[in-house]
């Protein structure tokens, strides 16, 4: 993590990630894919990350967390559950191989809504702005060495994978800067409810 984060004594800074998590059966299927990749291409880091679809990443003082959680809760309440279809593999040359999402539009709409609700609160400073995903995907392995990518991608470009699930909530995770393990902050259920902004909440 960057060392130029402005630290204030007594105020902890955390890395946050907002994700969609597949249900247990599909989650286990993807873990197996990651395990096979790790074994086949000497890529231990493929085992590290748990299967998820990233929506947003940001760094912020922990003291701001409650306000962000409130905004995410509101966004979740107004969001309807939607279907996610996974089909085969894609890549970001020459460092990442992922399971492709064929139903990107509802994910992109969700990201757009989250961005409009939370962007200002997620911004730490001009050098640490939130990153919102524009190309949804489910990572198998990232930060690959060139030789690993060049060996693996011809194989995975011809492999098949199918999966689907209903996204009915999003999960906010965090870890203190320079620590490795994420912990769950809160899950935000998609309830498709009409949500109105209360007077006085505009500046929350």
What is the CATH number for 163?
3.90.1140.10
119 in a domain, yes or no?
A: yes
- pLDDT tens, position by position, 51-87: 999 999 999 999 999 999 999 999 999 999 999 999 9
User: What is the span of the domain harbouring residue 82?
Assistant: 13-187
Over residues 36-43, the mean pLDDT reads: 96
Residue-level pLDDT at 48 = 86
Residue-level pLDDT at 3 = 56
130 C-beta neighbours (distance < 10 Å), count: 21
Band of pLDDT at residue 9, cut at 50, 70 and 90: confident
Over residues 89-109, the mean pLDDT reads: 97
Q: How far apart are the first and last CA of the chain?
A: 29
91 in a domain, yes or no?
A: yes
Mean per-residue pLDDT of the chain: 92
Beta bridge partners of 145: none
Query: Could you tell me how many helices (H) and strands (E) the chain has, helices first?
Result: 4, 9
79 in a domain, yes or no?
A: yes
199 in a domain, yes or no?
A: no
Domain count, the chain: 1
């Amino acid at each position: 993590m960057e060392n130029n984060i402005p630290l204030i004594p007594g105020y902890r800074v955390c890395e946050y990630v907002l994700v969609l998590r597949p249900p247990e059966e599909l989650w286990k299927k993807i873990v197996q894919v990651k395990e096979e990749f790790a074994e086949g291409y000497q890529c231990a880091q493929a085992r590290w990350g748990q299967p998820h679809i990233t929506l947003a990443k940001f760094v912020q003082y922990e003291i701001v967390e409650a306000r962000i959680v409130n905004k995410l809760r509101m966004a979740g309440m107004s969001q309807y559950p939607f279907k996610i279809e996974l089909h085969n593999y894609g890549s970001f040359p020459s460092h990442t191989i992922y399971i492709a999402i064929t139903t990107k539009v509802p994910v992109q709409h969700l990201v757009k809504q989250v961005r409009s609700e939370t962007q200002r609160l997620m911004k730490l400073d001009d050098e640490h702005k939130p990153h919102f995903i524009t190309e949804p995907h489910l990572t198998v392995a990232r930060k690959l060495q060139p030789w690993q990518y060049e060996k693996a991608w011809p194989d995975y470009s011809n492999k098949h994978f199918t999966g689907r699930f209903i996204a009915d909530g999003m999960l906010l995770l965090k870890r203190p800067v320079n620590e490795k393990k994420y912990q769950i902050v809160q899950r935000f259920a998609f309830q498709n409810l009409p949500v109105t902004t209360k007077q006085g909440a505009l500046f929350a």
